[in-house]
Amino acid sequence: MTSQQPTPAPEDARLPPADAPGAANDAGVTGAVTIERLDDASSEDWDAFVLAEPTATFFHRAGWSRVIHSAYGYDTHFLMGKRDGQVVGVLPLVHLKTIAFGQSLISTGFCVHGGIASQDPSAIHALAAAAAALGEKLGVGYVEMRSEHASIPGWQTKSDVYATFRRDLHDTAEANLKAIPRKKRADVRKGIKSDLRIDTSGDIDSFYRIYAESVRNLGTPVFGKKYIRAIAEEFGEDCEISVVYGPDGPVAALTSFYFRDQVLPYYGGGTFAARPLHAYDQLYWTLMGRAVERGAKVFDFGRSKYGTGAFDYKTYWGFEPTPLNYQYHLVKAQDVPDINPLNPKYKLMVSIWQKLPLSVANLIGPWVARQLG
């Protein structure tokens, strides 16, 4: 992992330490919760808390502050709730300033999860209040918490757009194969028998080439290669890049994250040649095997939108959806945002993007992706 330190927001955008009401939490602990910001000295304490806190995710790690600032140049505001010198909650925030969609404060920007990681009611209250106050100070349209659970009373909640998919892993390949529904299990067996090779050496160039083509075909702008390089450098062995090779070269690729006892396949894509070769099935099946070898107990298949092919694909593997409860505090915005490709107002844009030459999509895609967060 890189030794580079978090990049905090400019001084004029900072909030002074804030006190939450000193009410007792559910465990009977009393004392004021103060709000501090992630800095060089507190990075280790932040990550130690995230690693131990059940409500925290890979996307709460301090390294995302460095990744997002270095790749996109956005200010980050990673807030810690402390009581008596101990971290009792964290909240990673990214301040997006875009031409297309205005300003927003998102936890965690460019990630599928975020929000407040804490089980302490006073810490949740203090961090939510600090986020709302910061949003007002910065003049954003809204503050967004990409949470699985709606933990902030009074904030607007949207739970009908995204779901996440998780399932326990078994200790043996035989048991994991048996856990896959019969029809998809047959596809996995075909992939196993295919003339496919998996390379996990971290070939970013091959990954990016395949992923960029895949998302163009879906009508989605691709992020810049600088972003995936920053992720790989920051998270080291906790980031795995795998590429599937067919008879004629690479056809599918995947970037996955390891966190505690979980493996998270995250950025994945393939060429049109991948489907008949069952390369996608082989990609995820072999990841399960490598994850078990590393001691993982949970396969986190990630976020998908309701009503999409990706959503259906995960159910074919036997995964059940769990709704994600994203929460919003509106500042200047009048309504909760609806920035996603399924929004009818973006239908024409998606259709046009699918028809762009790949070279053009790759040239302008990173600029557009930077607007989306």
pLDDT tens for 22-55 read 333 444 455 799 999 999 899 999 999 999 999 9
pLDDT tens for 97-153 read 998 889 999 999 999 999 999 999 999 999 999 999 999 999 999 999 999 999 999
pLDDT tens for 175-220 read 999 999 999 999 999 988 888 999 999 999 999 999 999 999 999 9
Q: Where are the beta strands (DSSP E) in the chain?
A: 34-37, 75-83, 86-98, 102-107, 142-145, 156-158, 162-168, 197-199, 239-246, 249-259, 262-270, 298-305, 321-323, 326-330
Q: Please report, for the domain that includes residue 314, its CATH number.
A: 3.40.630.30
CA 95 to chain centre: 16
Structure tokens at 299: 């396969």
Instruction: Say yes or no: 246 and 360 in one domain.
Output: yes
pLDDT on residue 370: 92
Instruction: Say yes or no: 237 and 275 in one domain.
Output: yes
Please classify residue 351 by burial: count the beta carbons closer than 10 Å to its beta carbon, then call 0-12 exposed, 13-18 middle and 19+ buried: exposed
Structure tokens at 332: 């200047």
Within a domain: 351: no
Instruction: Say yes or no: 26 and 116 in one domain.
Output: yes
Within a domain: 240: yes
Considering the chain, what percentage of its residues have pLDDT values greater than 90? 83
CA separation for the pair 54, 2 (Å, rounded): 25
Instruction: Say yes or no: 142 and 199 in one domain.
Output: no
pLDDT on residue 175: 97
Instruction: Say yes or no: 290 and 332 in one domain.
Output: no
CB 334 within 8 A of CB 301: no
Please classify residue 310 by burial: count the beta carbons closer than 10 Å to its beta carbon, then call 0-12 exposed, 13-18 middle and 19+ buried: middle
Which amino acid, 349? M
**Bridge partners, residue 263, by sequence:** 258, 299
Instruction: Say yes or no: 167 and 299 in one domain.
Output: yes
CA separation for the pair 201, 235 (Å, rounded): 15
Closest to 353 (Cα-Cα) out of 224, 238, 250, 212 = 212
CB 292 within 8 A of CB 258: no
> What domain range includes position 20?
11-161+325-339
Instruction: Say yes or no: 23 and 106 in one domain.
Output: yes
- From residue 53, alpha-carbon distances to 20, 56, 57, 59 in Å are 20, 5, 9, 13
CA separation for the pair 80, 34 (Å, rounded): 8
Give rounded-to-5 percent helix, strand, coil for the chain: 40, 25, 35
Within a domain: 214: yes
Instruction: Say yes or no: 232 and 271 in one domain.
Output: yes
Instruction: Say yes or no: 171 and 42 in one domain.
Output: no
Domain count, the chain: 2
pLDDT on residue 17: 38
pLDDT on residue 21: 34
Within a domain: 347: no
Average pLDDT in the chain: 90
Within a domain: 129: yes
CA separation for the pair 329, 30 (Å, rounded): 27
pLDDT tops 60 at residue 322: yes
Structure tokens at 199: 């390379």
Which amino acid, 15? L
Structure tokens at 154: 């009074």
Instruction: Say yes or no: 276 and 332 in one domain.
Output: no
CA separation for the pair 151, 131 (Å, rounded): 14
Cα torsion angle, 58, 98, 310, 232, sign? negative
The whole-number average pLDDT for the span 60-85 is 96
pLDDT tops 70 at residue 310: yes
R_g of the chain computed on alpha carbons: 21
Closest to 263 (Cα-Cα) out of 281, 244, 239, 280 = 239
Instruction: Say yes or no: 195 and 217 in one domain.
Output: yes
Within a domain: 247: yes
Within a domain: 299: yes
CA separation for the pair 293, 163 (Å, rounded): 28
Within a domain: 15: yes
Instruction: Say yes or no: 173 and 306 in one domain.
Output: yes
CA separation for the pair 247, 232 (Å, rounded): 28
